[in-house]
Amino acid sequence: MNREQDWLAQIAAGLGQVRVRQPIIHHITNYISINDCANATLAIGGSPIMANDQDEVAEVAAQSAALVLNLGTPNTRMLDSLEAAGKQANALGIPVVFDPVGVGFTRVRTRAVAQLLLSVRMTAVRGNLAEISRMAGLDVTSRGIDALAAQNNAADTVKRAAQKLGCIVAATGVSDYISDGRTLIRIDNGDPLMARVTGTGCMTTSLVAACCGAMTEKLAAVTAGVAAMGVAGEIARSLLQPGEGTGSFRVRLLDAVSNLSGEEILKRGKLTVETTND
């Protein structure tokens, strides 16, 4: 078994662990994708709790296996909640997955992210390449919330971002790149229709958190969450009937996650591994 197949086997086993352990995943997230993220978490086998009030977030985080902090629709009260929950999770050693939606697009979001990174240690950050680049202070042009970024520098950008931020970084897009600053993994699964459904990025963050809540090895967990969404996207496309469009694709995406097996990962997973000692 070569290195890539070894990774796929680890991912397949990890997804099985999520379904067995049904980890509680606390989300502090935006109003747009909150329902989709809850259903995605349930689909992969997790148990989602969406609680964002300042007075209860620490208590909820403490009872969870992982915490999602999603910037989506930021405001002052939301930022206080993100910070309170993140600090509690850090204190208890609970993995924190951060989704910096739209960082760089407005001053509010850029400041919020900077402030949050000062008070909360992230286990992993999941965003698109523009968001990752911005967070790590690397230049990028931003168009709306998503950006058409230079893919040829993507692997390098992600590895440097992970080194700079001191955590695992996952940049999802046409290809997905995951790194802990030493190892760089590329996933080539997915489907263009995923960009035409809102919240697929946020849902990927939920899958990443579910895996982090059930798997010990966090780089493998982040990779598992990203791979699960990419493979589900391809299965969803294969299930699409003539005349169907983004409405049906969105439904079949959730179908695919809910039925996702280790076998599908081994069969469909397109994973490439680089490891360096930088």
Binding site for a copy of itself (CB under 8 A): 24, 30-36, 38-39, 42-43, 47-56, 59-60, 63, 73-75, 77, 102, 105-109, 144-146, 196-199, 239, 243-248, 250-259
Output 137 or 245, the one with its CB closest to a copy of itself: 245
- For the CB of residue 252, give the shortest distance to a copy of itself in the complex, in Å: 6
Task: Provide, rounded to whole angstroms, the least separation between the CB of residue 159 and a copy of itself.
Answer: 29
CB of 78 to a copy of itself, least distance (A): 9
Tell the smallest beta-carbon distance from residue 8 to a copy of itself (Å): 22
Residue 134 or 160: which CB sits closer to a copy of itself? Answer: 134
Contact present, 40 and 255 (Cβ < 8 Å): no
Measured from the CB atom, the residue of 169 and 260 that comes closer to a copy of itself is 260
Nearer to a copy of itself by Cβ, of 113 and 167: the residue is 113
Looking at the Cβ atoms of 51 and 266, the one nearer to a copy of itself is 51
Smallest separation (angstroms) from a copy of itself to the CB of 235: 9
